[in-house]
Amino acid sequence: MSIVHVYLSRDAKPTEEQIKRLRESAKRPIVFDEDCMPLPDEIAERNDRLRIKYKTNRITKEILIAEGYLKPKSKSE
């Protein structure tokens, strides 16, 4: 099952049914797909440090190579 986003206009007020659905969904646990598991704590902490160091929100392959976490591909490959 995928994530579903529902948007209301700024002037619209949620109905009683919508409020009830929100309260019920807040009680349900988060379930991850097998192919999209959460990051381990070590990797999440590493990415947080790199985001601060490089002042970015996106950790790229180039950053991981520069930090020594990935090996660059050789040109013969």
Residue 15: which H helix or E strand, with range?
A: none
Distance CA 73, CA 71 (A): 6
Give residue 64's pLDDT.
95
Please give the chain's pLDDT, 77 residues, in tens: 566 676 777 888 888 998 898 888 889 888 877 887 888 999 999 999 999 999 999 999 999 999 999 998 877 65
Q: Model pTM?
A: 0.53
As a dihedral over the C-alpha atoms of residue 60, residue 65, residue 67, residue 68, rounded to 10 degrees, the angle is 140
How far apart (Å, rounded) are the C-alpha atoms in residues 34 and 42? 20
